[in-house]
Amino acid sequence: MAKSCILNYLHEVLNKQKAGYLVLIDPEECDLEACAKLACEVERAGADALLLGGSLLTRDLHPIAASLKEQTSLPIILFPGDSMHLTPHADAILYTSLISGRNPNYLIGEQVKAAPWIQRYGLQPIPTGYILIDGGNRTAVEFMSGTVPIPRDKPDIAGPHALAAQYLGMQLVYLEAGSGAKLPVSNAMISTVNAQIDIPIIVGGGIRTPEIAAEKVNAGADFIVTGNIIESSGSFELMKQFADTVHG
């Protein structure tokens, strides 16, 4: 896929279907062969793109990304935990700023360090307001970023954060309960944010069944992300159910 059109592609996905389905592959959780095999199954199941990344990375990202690119034609969008999680073997990057937090390093510090490498690697940056919501347990992103999530019963706090992201020119908002969250972002939170902004909303963290994904879409999520449940089950049937349900 041409590197310059991933954001347009995501909008096209939304024009054609009720919502889009993204599968997160965390390179920390699977080796090169397992990642490639998973990516092929994800594509066959009908997902719209792959997210690649995680909060902490101790493996070499380059060969993993290169093999995903070789094995699938799905767009590969980096979802980095910090400025070290970059590779030229991807199409785009969610250029996130952790706007729910007040840690300057994750608001702008890592972004500055990453910028020259994004340019050098020819990655398309997709400016994304990343909003961490309490998911009922402490998650890796909360710990690694040293930020406090927005309480899950306070949509009135999340709404202005999302609107600020839009006013700052960000193209997407990501409502994140954190990988392995006990509880996904609530429907009330999603619908409140959806009522306040026009840019697409990604929702992820703790979504374990297609039924829950459908609830999130009905509440206003434009893209659903699943990570753990697909990596741990490896079930093609489940991936397909997620894709079919989210697409409506």
The residue from 129, 200, 204, 220 that contacts ligand 1GP (CB under 6 A) is 204
The 45-84 site mask, x for binding ligand 1GP (CB under 6 A), equals ----------------------------------------
How far apart CA 178 and CA 157 sit, in angstroms, is 18
Q: ∠ CA 245-32-26 to the nearest 5 degrees?
A: 50
Whether the Cβ atoms of residue 56 and residue 29 lie closer than 8 Å to each other = no
**Helix 187-196 to helix 210-219 angle, to the nearest 10 degrees?**
30
Backbone angles phi, psi at 204, to 5 degrees: -150, 170
Interaction of residue 206 with ligand 1GP, rule CB under 6 A: yes
Minimal distance, residue 4 CB to ligand 1GP, in Å: 25
Interaction of residue 28 with ligand 1GP, rule CB under 6 A: no
Backbone angles phi, psi at 178, to 5 degrees: 100, 145
Interaction of residue 30 with ligand 1GP, rule CB under 6 A: no
Interaction of residue 225 with ligand 1GP, rule CB under 6 A: yes
Interaction of residue 100 with ligand 1GP, rule CB under 6 A: no
Q: Nearer Cβ to ligand 1GP, position 145 or 226?
A: 226
Minimal distance, residue 143 CB to ligand 1GP, in Å: 13
Measure CA 173 to chain center: 10
Q: Nearer Cβ to ligand 1GP, position 123 or 207?
A: 207
Interaction of residue 24 with ligand 1GP, rule CB under 6 A: yes
Residues in 157-196 at the binding interface with ligand 1GP, rule: CB under 6 A? 176, 179-181
Interaction of residue 205 with ligand 1GP, rule CB under 6 A: yes
Q: Which residue is nearest to ligand 1GP (CB)?
A: 204
- Please give the full DSSP string across 62-91, using - where no structure is assigned: HHHHHHHHHH--S-EEE--SSTT---SSSS
Whether the Cβ atoms of residue 195 and residue 173 lie closer than 8 Å to each other = no
Q: Nearer Cβ to ligand 1GP, position 10 or 24?
A: 24
Interaction of residue 97 with ligand 1GP, rule CB under 6 A: no
- Asked whether the CA dihedral 136, 142, 148, 152 is positive or negative, the reply is negative
Cβ-in-10-Å burial (0-12, 13-18, 19+) of 8 comes to exposed
Minimal distance, residue 1 CB to ligand 1GP, in Å: 22
- The pair of three-digit structure tokens given for residue 34, joined into one six-digit string: 């397992």
Residues that bind ligand 1GP (CB under 6 A): 24, 176, 179-181, 204-207, 225-229
